[in-house]
Structure 1
């Protein structure tokens, strides 16, 4: 059974930095990301929807630049769940939101950096300006993803994260982690 790929791979207007797509997102967080259509799903919604299914796969064939962005987002969701799961006590939604917001703005590796786990599948940005743009874009996307993830985790109103999401905290997509 093949893994699920991004529907944004065929977007001819998507900007690329290195060979990673920079796609529009719906957000109120400031940053360089293009603003997406509020009526349509964006790459963050797609990554959250496909996270649990794709995290079961050890291999993933990259079919386009949006798949590369989705891989980064899926690995980040995995790191977020691990961060929440490693807390001494079960965090409330507010505590989890603070933890994940801190995680999203922490220093992290981008494609081309020595610490990035999948450098063999990614092209490095061609200039310092592109590298800075990609880092700012990924920071903004990570903040928005953390916000939407906490909403999904605590959607049932019990004050505890959903066990159906937390069951994936030890799963590693492609046996990798961003290490954040």
Structure 2
């Protein structure tokens, strides 16, 4: 199942639980506060180019539509710019801030759609764009279907842990949970996801 989800087994929980958010494999940029003292901080534009697609991929797994995921991520970057500007000099963990904003935006999006989803058929794109193929291949589409059968909290924990490669401590901070709650939620969610994936084979 792990290869289906992310292409490899998940890494063990890092020993350094205070590593900066985004220090995992997919980060193409040093996160604020991650390097030696005095290292130059990334600008909002640099963060956008380095992490936008990864955040969209994460959001797609939460809201199940690429167009809505792109809106959520765009709103997160816009809010960050409005609050802190381009240089982000007064923000210690810009990528962590963005992840939290995307999760909260996805929650709001799903709340707004909850009633409508009972009456509107699921969205099916007429033709996938080249970028959409980069975001979701066939295997990820199967995972997407299975993820939507989990609770929102289970889905968030799995996406942050195994897609965004965050530690339990980072997930706890992002979602406002205890580490124990993150661990127990992840365990139950994995069991549920395995059962759902069997149904969509």
TM-score (norm 1): 0.28
* TM-score normalised to structure 2 length: 0.26
**Counting helix residues as a fraction of each chain, which structure ranks higher?**
2
> Which structure has the higher relative contact order (CA within 8 Å, separation 6+)?
1
